[in-house]
């Protein structure tokens, strides 16, 4: 199986070859490889349990064999908190995640994407600027990897040049270097909407803040001599700084939802939300990642059929199916963590209008 990236979400949501297995395996720092291997086997046994409800034993054994032989969970690195595996005849891949996920196995007619949506929307990566008088390196994080986009070298700080130009003020030279480098860095940052972490000594970060023209620079930064830091350690410190940043984003999303409820432009009945999603009337959907409503969604009428639990290879999380319908129609989905205060709603949606809610008999194709 290949390693997927967040940008593969479109391929994941458009896959149509049934059955589809979604496995979410969390990595506890206290677990050794043997214990993690046992958790992986438990996940595969659970997937087989659902498949055997609707498929022959011969089919299940053949279908599952690549998963039993897979060792992708062994590719997890120190900072990874889990792995998401998507498996069907059409798509076979995995994602390493640096965000906390809950263990879950879903066998259904589509892939389960809610946890991935939260990671994609709230934790899409970040910039790291490691700053010294010798160089400014621009790093971008994506799917657990740090890639160096650009490196700006201060030629005047090279030892040979300093000796030749000993009459120059080093501080003046550094300020010129920071201002010139920042002009180029601004061009790079302007094409993204990602948080930016600064790393360096306090004085140097003070200079660079004056020249950068970007609103997503974190107030907190990594202080110290970056030339002595390993990039792996800098990356770990970035995650520590970004955790409260992501929490704040979720709180702002909840504030938006609560305001929409007060203005009566939000709906909270799951039946109304399902129909609105099918009609393409949902502007923004709010769901909680670890709440599930098992059953099926009629993608022609919006009717839902609720099961008491996940019982076979066709039962899916209806909330997850609604997410996919909203995305298909160009709406936005906000996936919140379970502990976030959403006043007990299992889901909520800001809608464009309510006209469709008074006439369920109309064909969705005729909706305006």
pLDDT digits (tens, 9 = 90+) for 202-234: 988 888 888 888 778 999 999 999 888 888 889
Q: Radius of gyration of the chain from Cα atoms?
A: 25
CATH entry 3.30.960.10 includes domain 2-122: yes
pLDDT at 368: 32
CATH entry 3.30.1330.30 includes domain 264-366: yes
Domain boundaries, the chain: 2-122, 126-246, 264-366
Statement: residue 51 has pLDDT above 90: yes
Q: What is the pTM of this model?
A: 0.80
* Of the options 3.20.20.70, 3.40.50.2300, 3.10.310.30, 3.30.420.60, the CATH number for the domain spanning 126-246: 3.30.420.60
pLDDT at 176: 87
Q: Mean per-residue pLDDT for 289-299? A: 93
Provide, rounded to the nearest whole percent, the portion of the chain with pLDDT above 90.
Answer: 48
pLDDT at 62: 97
């Amino acid at each position: 199986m290949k390693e997927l990236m967040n940008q593969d979400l479109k391929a994941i949501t458009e896959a149509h070859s049934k059955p589809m297995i979604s496995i979410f395996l969390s990595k506890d720092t206290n677990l050794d490889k043997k214990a993690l291997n046992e958790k992986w086997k438990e996940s595969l046994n659970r997937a087989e349990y659902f498949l055997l409800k609707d498929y022959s034993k011969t089919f299940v054994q053949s279908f599952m064999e690549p998963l039993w032989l897979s060792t992708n969970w062994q590719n997890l690195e120190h900072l990874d908190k889990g792995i998401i595996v998507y498996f069907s005849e059409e798509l076979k891949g995995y994602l390493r995640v640096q965000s906390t996920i809950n263990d879950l196995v879903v066998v259904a007619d589509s892939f389960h994407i809610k946890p991935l949506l939260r990671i994609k929307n709230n934790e899409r990566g970040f910039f790291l600027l490691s700053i010294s008088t010798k160089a400014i390196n621009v790093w971008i994080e994506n799917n657990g990897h740090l890639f160096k986009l650009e490196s700006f070298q201060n030629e005047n700080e090279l030892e040979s040049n300093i000796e030749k130009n000993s009459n120059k003020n080093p501080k003046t030279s550094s300020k010129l270097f920071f201002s010139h480098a920042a002009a180029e860095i601004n061009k790079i940052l302007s094409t993204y909407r990602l948080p930016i972490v600064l790393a360096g000594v306090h004085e140097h970060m003070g200079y660079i803040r004056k020249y950068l023209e970007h609103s997503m620079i974190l107030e907190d930064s990594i202080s110290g001599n970056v030339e002595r830091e390993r990039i792996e350690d800098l990356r770990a410190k970035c995650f520590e700084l970004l955790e409260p940043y992501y929490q704040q984003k979720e709180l702002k999303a909840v504030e938006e939802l609560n305001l929409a409820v007060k203005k009566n432009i939000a709906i909270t009945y799951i039946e109304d939300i399902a129909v609105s999603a099918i009609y393409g009337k949902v502007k923004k959907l709010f769901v909680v990642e670890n709440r599930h409503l098992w059953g099926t969604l009629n993608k022609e009428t919006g009717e839902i059929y609720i099961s008491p639990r996940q019982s076979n290879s066709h039962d899916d999380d209806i909330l997850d199916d609604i997410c996919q319908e909203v995305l298909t129609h160009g709406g936005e989905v906000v996936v919140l963590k379970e502990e976030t205060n959403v006043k007990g709603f299992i889901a909520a949606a800001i809608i464009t209008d309510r006209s469709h809610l008074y006439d369920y008999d109309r064909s969705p194709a005729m909706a305006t």
